Structure formats: structure tokens, C-alpha cells
Amino acid sequence: MAEATTQARAPTIFDRVVAATPGTPRLEMCIQCGTCGGSCPSGADMDHTPRALFAMIKAGMETQVLSSNTPWYCVSCYYCTVRCPQEVHVTDLMYTLKRFSIQEKYYQDSSSADAPPFSQTFIHYVENYGRSFELGLATWYHLKYHPLDMPKIMPMATGLLRKGRIDITPKKIKGMDNLKAILAKAKELEGEI
Ligand code: SF4
Ligand code: SF4
């Protein structure tokens, strides 16, 4: 009698996303109720609502999922996560999708291809100063991607500067060495996931 052979199936995008998200993301629990998308402040700019993205993950639409601008427009407010009746870890899943999109270079096809460099510049300020530097970030972003909009933001920036609401140069937080040690440890742990 021929011996039955067991062939391991390749992990799907669903398997990979669940495995790479810390804790128990509960992605399989999504009931497509739409509460997440209805709560999302960035919903209008997203290619797909989180609900739609989760359905696409279940359907194995890897390329479309990882090219979507949705994770890039997620501002990590956690509102969806708090409101989800199924306790799906929507925000954490967005982080995983963003990471995959970078690792596998899908973000270059996304309709928000300028978002990753924006994030990297933001991270540069946080890693070197312990906080964001709004004036530098906004100026860099507009000069690089939307130079024609510069005249529109200048009056607002000048007003904020005059009222002392933003700094003209980046300022380091106290305890920068401690923050650097925390960030280094976080990177080390991320490499282990
Ligand atoms: S709120 Fe939760 S259950 Fe409802 S669609 Fe979003 S992730 Fe799915
Ligand atoms: S955490 Fe992200 S996906 Fe969820 S509501 Fe906020 S912006 Fe939208």
C-alpha cells in the first residue's frame, strides 16, 4: 500500500501576519461589523478600511494588502481597538502590515509611497532628540513632496512660532541616554520576533 505523504503548506499571508503580531491579535475573530472603519479618523484617506483589509488577508490577497496605503494612514490612536466588539488588535495588526510592506518593498507601489520616508524622518528625530520636531518634519516633507504647498503652510508655521507653540530648532529631552538604551533593546527584541 502506498504510504501517504504529508506536505507542509506554505504559510499564507494570514498565518504570517498573525505570527508576526505580538500577543494574540485575534484576527480570526473579525466578524466584518465595520466598527473599526467607522471609528477611524483616517478612514477617508485609506485605500481600504481595516475591515476590508482583514477580509483581503483572509482571502490571501497578499499583494493588494501589502500595497495598500491603509497601514500608512493609521495614526495609532487605538480607537478601533478599543471599540472592536471582538477585541481584534487592529492597531497592532496595522503595525505588522506596515513592517511587512517595508520588508517586502510593497510600499513603493502604495498610493502613499511618501509615507515611509516621512515615518523614517519622524523616527530620526525621536532617536536623536527624544521627541518629534514639527517644524523640521513639516518643512522637509513639503519641500520634498509638495513644494507648491509651501506658501500655504508658511503663515500657519509663522503663527505657531510667534505663539511659542513650536520650536525653531530641535531640543533634546532629558535622559536621552536612557531612551537610546530602550530603543536599542526594542530593536534587538524586534529582531528576535
Ligand atoms: S471592529 Fe473588529 S470585528 Fe468589527 S470589522 Fe473591525 S476588526 Fe472586525
Ligand atoms: S488605530 Fe489606526 S486604524 Fe485604528 S482607528 Fe486609529 S487610525 Fe484608524
Q: At what angle do helices 13-20 and 90-103 cross, to 10 degrees?
A: 110
Q: Which residues line ligand 1 (CB under 6 A)?
A: 30-36, 50-51, 54, 84-86, 88, 90
Average pLDDT over residues 68-75: 90
- pTM for this entry: 0.72
Q: What distance in angstroms lies between residue 149's CA and the mean position of ligand 1's atoms?
A: 36
Q: What distance in angstroms lies between residue 78's CA and the mean position of ligand 1's atoms?
A: 13
CB atoms within 10 A of CB 18: 18
Give Cβ neighbours of residue 19 (< 8 Å, ≥ 6 apart): 11
The confidence score (pLDDT) of residue 166 equals 80
| 102-150 pLDDT per residue, tens | 889 888 777 777 777 777 788 888 899 998 888 888 888 778 777 787 8
